[in-house]
Structure 1
Amino acid sequence: MCVSPRSIFKIALLLISATDAGMAIAAESNPPTGAPSPADVEYFERKIRPLLHEHCFECHAADSKTLHAGLRLDSRSGMLQGGDSGPSVVPGKPDESLLISSIHYNDYEMPPKGKLSDRDIAELTNWVSRGAPFPAAASDDPAPAAGIDIQQGREFWSFQPLKESPLPEVANAEWPQQRIDWFVLAAQEAAGLQPADEADRRTLLRRLAFDLTGLPPTLAQQEQFVSDNDPEAYHRLVTDLMQSPAYGERWGRVWLDLARYTDATASWLNQEGKAHLYRDWVVRAMNDDMPYDEFVRRQLATDMIPETGPDDIAALGFLGLSPTYWKELQLPCEIIKVIVADEWEERIDAISRTFLGLTVACARCHDHKFDPITTEDYYALAGVIASSRLTARPLVSEEEYEPIRLAKEEVARLGTEIKALKKKKPLPKEEIDKLTAERNHLATATPGYSDPLATAVSEESLYVVPAGPTNHDGTRLDYKPGSQDLNLFIRGNPNRLGPIVPRRFLSVLSSDEPTPFQQGSGRLELADSITRQAAPLTARVIVNRIWLAHFGSGLVSTPSNFGQLGERPTHPELLDDLAARFVANGWSLKWLHREIVMSATYRQSSRRSDEQEQIDPDNRWLGRMNRRRLDIEAWRDAMLTASGQLDVTTPGESVSFDDNKNHYRTMYSTIHRRDMSKGLQLHDFPDPNGHSPQRIATTTALQGLYLLNSSFVAGQADALAARIVREAPGDLTAQIDLTHRLLFGRPATADEIELATEFLADQSDDPTSDVWRQYAHAVLGCNEFLFVD
């Protein structure tokens, strides 16, 4: 079979991409074995242990009065060994697991008091599918802990006060550029390593541009920086990039992953507030370099802070955009109470993991199995959440909004009246037309009537109460002004009440006995506690998140778990020193970014040496820069930039990701909590139903098919070809060189010019020809375009 040069060119480039894909797929097909991961343990503690504890342990645990059928379900070994009927669980194979068959009421009917809900069955099935992870500590000691020693818990490393660390001694004292470098170099030298050479200027420019703005460097930036030999050129470049509006968009998107941001949710949920107002508030806060402690306070309680105004209400979207679950109010309130309690748990999880790096939600049903967090701590925070109602609020003062509120009430009343009139026979058309005109006039003539409302929270408490005198009358959700303290829910069940727990902060993060919150719901006191009493932990967590985003791995590899099950920092003195100086410099994120990117550590080449491969293959000691793949936002934005079609304006409300006419930055594409775009799903976009601590890159065949067959990618290839021919007419060599500068930030090599010249032949000035379209499509698919060195 004869293959044309054109086909060889395209196939060769695609094979480069396929090589990495094969490696990634091979890695995925051989998952690590051994102890369960921190994520698996956290999943077990939050979702599985409470189910087993409530429905199984009474008959199938070491402390059961009578051990039924010889089966223990309070340890992994007990499940695998099984009882009189054989093994209860076959990890990874729910269809072969007796436990799953029994809860489906097939071979046996367990639990005998009543079949589990479909949701609980699905959860246990998913757990077995994941390999039935069961913490070793839980297997050894299935009984609840006798109590938590809070004083001893305060000695844990991540709860300690911050302090600047003395610089360590190093042999190569000429290498460090920032304080960061002394700590990194000391660890490298202790491991027998030396740092890599500094990356070349084009690599540094491309790395910096994507890291700080999420966009590739412009042609002008390439020319200016590469030819500027001034020692201050790099410093000026960093400053210019951080002053770009694109900086806030890049780092705002990083935050939105943590905040489980969504533009749209379930169709049945009446979402009056506009989510994009929170998104845009985050971007502005990043660009304005709002101090991080203030950034936290405003997202939890800006409406309670005297020095902030109504234009900051959008900040409350962190809570206002929380997932809301369907509640069928025809059901008894006992069922609805559980759903509401699940919502409260999700919000506590988002707050504690995002700001504190702690899995507080694990303490809903019992004291935390690993961290010094009690069940009372959990319900102390749950009272704050239960006293905060998700709602839509205006971005103006209550006085300014009052005439608008009255107008909306009147419009709603007229709408109800019109609807009733339309049911009459004969139809009173004149009366309907008159009321319709009155309604429309009121809506159009009232200033500010159509201004969007922000998704937010208000100071109202939710009570789930029966709708009538009997259990068959359904449920009513009753919101009342003011706050409430919750009873402790025994085993997490809101229908089994323990003592009342006053709203307050976590005991282990309080200097003494925590003081009950007194100001309304307690949201502001909670925010102040996070940024003041827990300042050392809060600072360590955000510093580690920023480090992770720059290097691809954190100093702590579990960015949302700084507890016992989390990994310990690779460079503890560096983390403490950087966090202490971050706080001392006014919690400035831009200061933090500058400290990192100005370091010699950050400026290293990503080339692997033989020595590093042998001593430190995972680059734990940072002897080189990690090569990283662009996330979907940066990859798509880079395509739009190269093709000349990127629209850098802010669209207001989001635009569909799948709309090929959408040329805005990808962060402005619609995120739908219940119906995520398939294009985003394919490219590792996080699930907006929950807090996402970091992106996990995968390489799949579907991604390759998207690259080959997507109408969006094909459209960008056509636009790229047209741009190249338009900007370098009649000169094929210049056209090929321009292509490489636009996509890879470097000039084309002689071999690349020769190969592309042979492929494009005599079609240099016809961008609509098949060869130009294929060439542009192929280079967009190159790994060099997808990765940053």
Structure 2
Amino acid sequence: MRMNFRPLPLPLILAAALPCLSSSSLLALDEVPETAASAAAIEHFEKKIRPLLSARCYSCHSAKAKTVHGGLLLDSAAGIAKGGDSGPAISPKTPDESLLLTVLKYSDDDIQMPPKGKLPDDEIALLTDWVRRGAVFPKSDDAVMLMDDGIDFDEGRKFWSFQPANEQPLPDVRHKTWPAQRMDHFLLAAMEQNDLQPSPEAGKATLLRRLSFDLTGLPPAPEDVEAFLLDNRPDAYERQVDRLLQSPQFGERWARFWLDLARYTDKTASWLDSTGDAHLYRDWIVQAMNQDMPYDEFVKRQLATDMMPSTGPEDLPALGFLGLSPNYWKELKLPCEIIKVIVADEWEERVDAVTRTYLGLTVACARCHDHKFDPISTEDYYALAGIFASCRIAGRPTIEEELYEPVKEAKSKVEGLQKTLASLKKKKPVPTEKINELTQQIKIIEESTPYYNTPVATVMVEESLHVVRAGKRADEGSTLDYRPEPQDLNLFIRGNPNRLGDVVPRRFLTVLSPSSSSPQRFNNGSGRLELAEAITSDAASLTARVIVNRIWGRYFGQGLVTTPSNFGQLGARPSHPELLDDMAARFIKNGWSLKTLHREIVLSATYRQSSNPDAADMNVDPDNRLLSRMPRRRLDYEQWRDAMLLSSGQLDQTLGGPAVTLDDNNNHRRTLYATVHRRDMSNVLLSHDFPDPTSHSPMRQQTTTALQGLYALNGPLLSHQADALAARLISDCETDEARIDRAYHLLFSRPPTNRERQLGLAFLQDTGEPADGESAAGDQAADAWPKYAHVLLMSNEFAYVD
């Protein structure tokens, strides 16, 4: 990272930060809620560790083993804790010295496990990391009701998240004039039961800044704040809500929320399949959000728009949810047994992304065995995996195929000419005349072919993948055989595609299907459309709960369910179950309208509360689960950067288009359009809590690190934006006092206090004597203003929303 060091005065840095150094803003942001942390650890165990233990250890060290060797059981938390004949398996205080790791690494001459041969290094590394992180092993008494012959699905359907969502009667409250929306009644009732009172309504300027960031990701213009302050109509706030909901920037703000879930990327490693015009998917999401596409339609188009007669080629970018899935390198010189495992891992990733995003369920944990906690069988997993095994990633133009046929021919000709060009350029001497002739031919073909530059979306096509041997012997490599007909997968014993069980027909999850019958087979091609329809019909209540909870979490810092992608047994229980059910039921009743949901939340009295904490309330509800105050929230990196660009007057608000790298100092587009590289992530994004695009990300985990502070002090972004902001202030206003006032209105949506104004004036006027005695006062002022602007941009108040 290139550093542009510009020394800033410490007293001014501290003074600029003082207005917002409250106890709320100084919370350790790298602390992850316990429920979220434990759920993530258990999910990792179920997906990575238990299958490994099952495959390598359970034949000798489980309750089902014919003989338990060494008295050691590794299939339960109790067994792990107890250890075996040789002592404890895990040493919590010195994990690297744990006996389990010693025997796995063959460090002990007396005991080496497994006795038939040392495990591969990557498997030992997984188990080592697990032990170092505390050897999390879920308690067996948390598991679902299991019968001798499998899962009791009728019992499983009784779990709260699998129940139908219904509108709930409004609870009685004492403070009857406070609720502004239905949701307020439920929240107020819970507050009153705990002797809490709602906080006063926030001031109008604070409220508009909060609303603008939440709905558009940008701060309000000073002129909009002034107009709102002067608007005394009873529906003045409601008018602001409707204005911002109709803003094109609404779609950009909420598209980024969705792209985290969809593990969006613009680029991937050069040796993997190209992501094509990936930005078409991102732009489709923006458009869908702005148009308030019904969420059930939104789901269907992302999974199967190509199978829907009501949609056309212009909707194909929606398939980027699956089309941009991570894919792994397949070295076809290797035996097909290895390639089959790689392909099976890709199918698992798609099952995981789809079920966690739309259903909030960790179905991929059932790849190797029945889910240990939720009513999801191994057959359920392979029923879904067969859907993704019956389609593959490909590129398709966003126009009708018949219109694109001439383009295919033209591109084939151009490709041939370019190969010839490449070979000619290597000759000595270089045949310049021939090169110019071929270059002109290419130009003519490109310009004369209609639709030549039609974007090609990365989509799914109906072809099943089969891995077969390239020859008769295993050492002759592998071939990927794509076939037009769909396939049902065999159950893979312990997740191994080279050990096959019974064939499992493609279908939906048993627990979410009507209880009166077995799940119906999917017969329409791969089954993608039938899957999407099941998600929004059979599983409608769960699907609605999940998306309502996700959006709620973005407004209030945490969801009603604090594990937004796990609504199973290991997930958190809702803090307000009746409220979640009521909102989910009405979300469906209102035509799955996301904007209606947003509108209800931001019009609520709960949302409009002040964020100033009351000491007594903090003692009763320190985590603010009852929402007796609005949480103060730190801006995402995207909001923070965009707010800088907007305040300095440099933000390019053009919608859509290809991504632009953040390393380009002339990139003034919204951060939504910054290049996301799956295998070579931008260091700036990495250091500012951007999610890993290789996997589904249920929520941002905010951290506070020294590197972030150094970036704010010395990074090129703040340096350049401070210069631009200073230039704007000097151009807009004639006096330093007016410039300071303007800066505060631009950055904080408020005027400075007298103390803040005096601090700023004192710094700007106290430039000191130049060393050579020749620099003009104007030059000194021009140097002082960027420093002053830099301090304001890196202040806490600019990075938080109240």
Bin for the TM-score computed over the shorter chain:
over 0.9
1:653 and 2:654 matched: no
Asked if 1:745 is matched to 2:749, the reply is yes
SS of the aligned residue for 1:456 comes to strand
Deviation digits for residues 410-463 of structure 1 (CA, Å, limit 9, x no counterpart): 444566677789999999999998877666654453322332211111001000
CA-CA distance at 1:137 after TM superposition: 1.5
How far apart in 1 are the matches of 2:604 and 2:567? 25
Contact 2:336 2:478 in 1 (8 A): yes
Pairing 1:455-466 to 2, within 5 Å after superposition:
455-466=458-469
Deviations 1:278-314 (CA, angstroms, capped at 9, x unpaired): 0000000000110010000000000000010100000
CA distance in 2, matches of 1:435, 1:716: 46
1:777 corresponds to 2:790:
yes
2:544 maps to amino acid: A
Match of 1:588 in 2: 593
Distance across 2 between alignment mates of 1:482 and 1:392: 19
Secondary structure, aligned partner of 1:463: strand
CA contact (8 A) 2:30 2:701 kept: no
Alignment correspondent of 1:128: 131
Cα distance in 2 for residues equivalent to 1:736 and 1:496: 71
Answering whether residue 512 of structure 2 is matched by residue 521 of structure 1, we say no
Instruction: Pick the aligned partner of 1:711 from 712, 716, 726.
Output: 716
- Relative to structure 1, the CA distance from residue 407 to residue 116 in structure 2 (aligned partners, 3 Å threshold; closer, same or farther) is farther
Q: What amino acid sits opposite 2:783 in the alignment?
A: D
Q: For 1:326 and 1:506, locate their aligned partners in 2 and report how far apart those are by CA, in whole Å.
A: 30
Shift of 1:118: 3.7
In the TM superposition, residue 408 of structure 1 has moved relative to its aligned partner by 3.2
CA contact (8 A) 1:145 1:369 kept: no
Distance in 1, matches of 2:74 and 2:444, equals 67
**Change beyond 3 A, Cα 1:426–1:671:** closer
Structure 1 residues 333 and 190 mapped into 2: Cα distance closer, same or farther (>3 Å)?
A: same
Change (3 A) 1:319 1:94: farther
- Aligned-partner Cα distance in 1 for 2:115–2:92: 24
137, 146, 161: which one pairs with 1:158? 161
Whether 2:576 is the aligned partner of 1:563: answer no
Percent of pairs with identical residues: 60
Residue 19 of structure 1: how far off its partner (Å): 8.8
For 1:459 and 1:281, how far apart are their aligned partners in 2?
22
Q: Where does 1:474-493 land on structure 2 (aligned, <5 Å)?
A: 474-493=477-496
Q: Is 1:274 paired with 2:274?
A: no
Aligned pairs for 1:388-427 (under 5 A) are: 388-412=391-415
**RMSD of aligned residue pairs (Cα, Å):** 2.9
The residue that corresponds to 2:497 in the other structure is 494
Is 1:724 aligned with 2:737? no
* Aligned residue runs from structure 1 range 311-326, under 5 A: 311-326=314-329
TM-score of the pair, normalised by structure 2:
0.92
Which AA in structure 1 matches 2:749? G
Matches of 1:304 and 1:679 in 2, distance apart?
40
Query: For residues 222-621 of structure 1, what are the structure 2 equivalents within 5 Å?
Result: 222-271=225-274, 273-412=276-415, 441-511=444-514, 512-621=517-626
Distance 2:94 2:441 in 1: 64
**Correspondence for 1:640 among 618, 640, 645:** 645
Instruction: Give the AA of the match of 2:786.
Output: R
Q: Cα gap change, 1:89/1:751 in structure 2, threshold over 3 Å: closer, same or farther?
A: same
1:667 equivalent in structure 2:
672
| CA distance, structure 2, for counterparts of residue 524 and residue 496 of structure 1 | 30
Mark the CA change 1:98 to 1:308 in structure 2 (over 3 Å): closer, same or farther: same
CA deviation after TM superposition for structure 1 residue 540, in Å: 0.7
Letter in 1 for 2:464: S
Q: 1:380 to 1:628 in 2, by over 3 A?
A: same
Which amino acid letter does the alignment assign opposite residue 192 of structure 2? E
Tell me: CA distance 1:91–1:457, structure 2 relative to 1, closer, same or farther (3 Å).
farther
Q: Give CA deviations for 1:297-355 in whole Å, capped at 9, x if unaligned.
A: 00000000001010000000000010011111111111111111111111100000000
Query: Contact 2:8–2:791 (CA<8 Å) still a contact in 1?
Result: no
Corresponding letter in the other structure for 1:343: E
Corresponding position of 2:52: 51
Q: CA deviation at 1:142?
A: 14
SS class of match (2:325): coil
Shift of 1:160: 1.6
Relative to 1, partners in 2 of residues 1:396 and 1:700: Cα closer, same or farther, differing over 3 Å? Answer: same
Alpha-carbon distance change, 336 to 117 in structure 1, aligned in 2, over 3 angstroms = farther
Instruction: Kindly state the Cα deviation for residue 765 of structure 1 after the two structures are TM-superposed.
Output: 6.5
> Hey, what does 1:179 align to over in structure 2?
182
Aligned partners of 2:35, 2:674: CA distance in 1, in Å?
40
Contact 2:166 2:582 (8 Å CA) reproduced: yes
One-letter amino acid matched to 1:782: S
CA distance in 2, matches of 1:562, 1:781: 38
Q: Highest relative contact order (Cα 8 Å, sep 6+), 1 or 2?
A: 2
Separation in structure 1 between the aligned mates of residue 655 and residue 360 of structure 2, nearest angstrom: 32
Query: CA contact under 8 A between 2:144 and 2:374: conserved in structure 1?
Result: no
Corresponding residue number in structure 2 for 1:202:
205
- Alpha-carbon shift at residue 711 of structure 1 (Å): 1.1
Alpha carbons of 1:372 and 1:483: their partners in 2 closer, same or farther (altered >3 Å)? same
1:687 aligned partner, one-letter code: D
Paired position in structure 1 for 2:800: 787
| Amino acid in the other structure paired with 2:704 | T
User: Residues 17 and 781 of structure 1 are in contact (CA less than 8 Å); yes or no, is this contact kept in structure 2?
Assistant: no
SS of 1:392's equivalent? strand
User: Once the 2 structures are TM-superposed, how far is the Cα of residue 58 of structure 1 from its aligned partner?
Assistant: 0.9
Cα separation, 2, equivalents of 1:27 and 1:476: 46
Contact kept? 1:683, 1:703, Cα under 8 Å: yes
Please tell me the residue identity of whatever aligns with 1:229: N
Partner Cα separation in structure 1 for residue 693 and residue 753 of structure 2: 43
Distance 2:525 2:645 in 1: 48
C-alpha deviations, 1:200-258, integer Å up to 9, x for none?
Answer: 10110010000000000101111101111111110100010011111000000000000
Q: Distance in 2 between matches of 1:32 and 1:649?
A: 38
Aligned residues: 783
**Matches of 1:590 and 1:169 in 2, distance apart?**
28
In 2, distance between residues paired with 1:444 and 1:434? 16
Tell me if the contact between 1:74 and 1:139 (Cα under 8 Å) persists in the aligned partners: no
Offset, 1:700:
1.1
Counterpart residue number, 2:682: 677
Measured in 2, the distance between the counterparts of 1:558 and 1:632 equals: 22
> Structure 1 regions of 5+ residues with no counterpart?
none
1:706 alignment partner AA: Y
618-627 or 64-73, which deviates more: 64-73
Q: Distance in 2 between matches of 1:732 and 1:429?
A: 61
Mapping of residues 73-84 of structure 1, within 5 Å: 73-84=74-85
Instruction: Indicate conservation of the 8 Å contact 2:25/2:632, yes or no.
Output: no
User: Distance in 2 between the 1:519 and 1:497 partners?
Assistant: 25
Q: Take 1:658 and 1:615, find their aligned partners in 2: how far apart are those partners?
A: 47
Q: Provide the residue aligned with 1:99 in structure 2.
A: 100
- For the structure 1 residues 240 and 47, does the alpha-carbon distance in structure 2 shift closer, same or farther, using more than 3 Å as the test? same
| Alignment CA distance shift 1:711-1:373 (3 Å) | same
Distance 2:545 2:701 in 1: 22
CA distance in 2, matches of 1:355, 1:340: 23
Corresponding residue for residue 4 of structure 2 = none
Indicate if the aligned counterparts of 1:10 and 1:778 stay in contact, CA closer than 8 A.
yes
Distance 1:777 1:426 in 2: 56
Contact 2:254 2:289 in 1 (8 A): yes
Normalised by the length of structure 1, the TM-score is 0.94
